[in-house]
Amino acid sequence: MRLLFLFTVSFGLGLAQGLTSYLHAPVYINIRMTNGYDSNVLRLSANERSSAPIEKEVMGSMDTFDSHYVRGELTGRSIYNLSGKKNVTLSGSGAFIRYSHSPDKKYSSGKFEMKYRWGPYRSVMYSARHLSNFYLRNYINRDVSNHTSIACSFSDRDQKLSVSYPLARRMWVAFTGGYLQRYYNGAFAEFNSDIVYRRGRFSWKTPWNFTLGVEGEVGKADNITFGTTARSSDLDRSYNYTQLYLPIKSSVRLWIFDEIGCAYRQENRMYIAESLDDPLHSGRAHTDGKLDVWVKKDFTDSFSAKIMLRKRERITQSEYNWVEGLKSFSQLQVWMEIGWRTMYDRY
């Protein structure tokens, strides 16, 4: 499946390059560099933070809870006009992330999109995204030891198909179906899951240049390695979830900024497990909320800067107080993104 996914992304990027040459379409290039701060890189609970000076293994290779990080991204996009209002857009992107105070927290991602548009707000889009080796933290591998902790990371392969259609002037809806494969490194393969999700979104671009959105998502994660590996896989980590997303942004110049926005995202997750042998997951649920606020300034047609703040809070519910204390955490992230846009047209 991994080879198939990589082939799909590679084929898509090759197709974009080939069509660029064949259809004589320019390539729009966007380069973004981000400097950021993360207050809780390992997503530690308050209890874990207080015990970290004694139980040092929870910190892994880190000496601090927080860290500076950098992110770089390169995006390419081409639009091929067919006839009338019809066109095809091909785009691809790649990104890397490095954390200064966490040698293990370094990963990369890539994305390919193909979109067919036949009128305003009328489109169908396929996208494939790959996230490689996202480090979470160190955990104890119970199949080997009850004391020694090792690095836990996962990789994502996400494919989705979206359709959008207008409802009225400046109003449109979009529906998405997706398939996400989240697979962990070998020592924690018992958490491998295939996630199927459905998403619906309503958007409205007001006459005052505010864009409002309401998005809902439901999904189910199937723990595909349940009962297939070592003794740790005897516990089912499958779960159901719902998600609500509420974004709003203004493209009207306010003060010195060309864009101001905020968004709130909340995920409610409920684990399926009901086994007394698995108190960590049995009957467990959590509410994970993220609040984003940002401002953006366009200095020229090709150069811009964006400052963003994110506050995240996860509250866990369980029959066991120690589980609630262990799996609840808060996190603050602040970053500044510098963007540069250009166009390449060999013709």
- For residue 40, pLDDT over 80 is answered with yes
Query: 3-state SS string over 165-198?
Result: EEEECCEEEEEEEEEEEEEECHHHHHHCEEEEEE
Average pLDDT over residues 234-254: 90
The mean-pLDDT minimum among 8-17, 135-144, 167-176 falls in 8-17
CA distance 237 to 267: 17
- For residue 2, pLDDT over 90 is answered with no
The answer for residues whose C-beta is within 8 angstroms of residue 4's C-beta and 6 or more apart is: none
Banded pLDDT at 229 (limits 50, 70, 90): low
Mean pLDDT for the chain?
Answer: 89
Average pLDDT over residues 227-241: 79
Question: Whole-structure pTM over 0.95, yes or no?
Answer: no
Q: What confidence score (pLDDT) does residue 12 get?
A: 47
Could you give the domains of the chain? 2-344 (2.40.160.40)
Q: What confidence score (pLDDT) does residue 65 get?
A: 95
The mean-pLDDT minimum among 7-11, 97-101, 239-243 falls in 7-11
- 161-193 confidence digits (pLDDT tens): 999 999 998 999 999 999 999 999 988 898 999
**Of residues 236, 209, 204, 201, the one with CA closest to residue 220:** 236
Banded pLDDT at 23 (limits 50, 70, 90): low
Average pLDDT over residues 52-72: 90
Q: What confidence score (pLDDT) does residue 144 get?
A: 67
- 91-118 confidence digits (pLDDT tens): 999 999 999 999 999 999 999 999 999 9
Query: Could you tell me how far CA 177 lies from the centroid of its own chain?
Result: 16
CA distance 226 to 192: 8
What the block records as the tokens of 173 is 């809806």
If you ran DSSP here, which 8-state letter would residue 261 be given?
E
Q: What confidence score (pLDDT) does residue 231 get?
A: 61
- 248-263 confidence digits (pLDDT tens): 999 877 788 999 999 9
